[in-house]
């Protein structure tokens, strides 16, 4: 778990920077994007998205998608930023179905 909580602005900056790093590594052109942009419209592939989540999990030692929400609800860059901001700051409003799916996934040893 986290030893100190990053601010919402730090979380957003880290998410944006990590997206740029992944795009640069894959040789994709990096065009300007903001929180309203669809994650896939940034140039990320589904494999890049998985790598992005893994990198963010390694950075903050948390995985909101294993604990309380599903990645399928994340469409935009801002959705991803908010998922980490809310989870890290303990303000996640959990859909009961998400919590049930997450509990089931933990019990069966797989990710949601």
Question: Per the domain annotation, does 71 fall within a domain?
Answer: yes
CA dist list (Å): 53 to 32, 47, 79, 96: 20, 10, 13, 23
Predicted confidence at residue 28, as pLDDT, reads 82
Predicted confidence at residue 102, as pLDDT, reads 55
Predicted confidence at residue 103, as pLDDT, reads 57
Contact yes or no for 10/59 (Cβ under 8 A):
no
Question: Per the domain annotation, does 1 fall within a domain?
Answer: no
What is the tally of structural domains in the chain?
Answer: 1
CATH code for the domain of 22: 1.10.1200.10
108 Cβ neighbours under 8 A, 6+ residues apart: none
Predicted confidence at residue 33, as pLDDT, reads 96
Distance (Å, whole) CA 71 – CA 43 = 18
Q: Mean pLDDT per 10-residue run, the chain (112 residues)?
A: 83 98 92 95 93 96 85 94 92 57 60 50
Question: Per the domain annotation, does 88 fall within a domain?
Answer: yes
Question: Per the domain annotation, does 43 fall within a domain?
Answer: yes
Predicted confidence at residue 44, as pLDDT, reads 93
Domain holding 50, by residue range, is: 8-108
Contact yes or no for 33/41 (Cβ under 8 A):
yes
93 forms bridges with which residues in the sheet?
none
Question: Per the domain annotation, does 3 fall within a domain?
Answer: no
């Amino acid at each position: 778990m986290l030893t100190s909580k990053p601010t919402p602005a730090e979380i957003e900056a880290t998410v944006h920077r990590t997206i740029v790093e992944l795009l640069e590594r894959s040789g994709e052109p990096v065009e300007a994007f903001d929180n309203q942009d669809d994650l896939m419209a940034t140039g990320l592939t589904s494999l890049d998205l998985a790598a992005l989540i893994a990198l963010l999990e390694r950075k903050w030692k948390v995985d909101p998608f294993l604990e309380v929400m599903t990645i399928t609800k994340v469409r935009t860059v801002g959705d991803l930023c908010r998922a980490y901001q809310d989870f890290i700051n303990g303000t996640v409003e959990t859909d009961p179905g998400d919590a049930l799916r997450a509990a089931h996934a933990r019990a069966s040893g797989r990710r949601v």
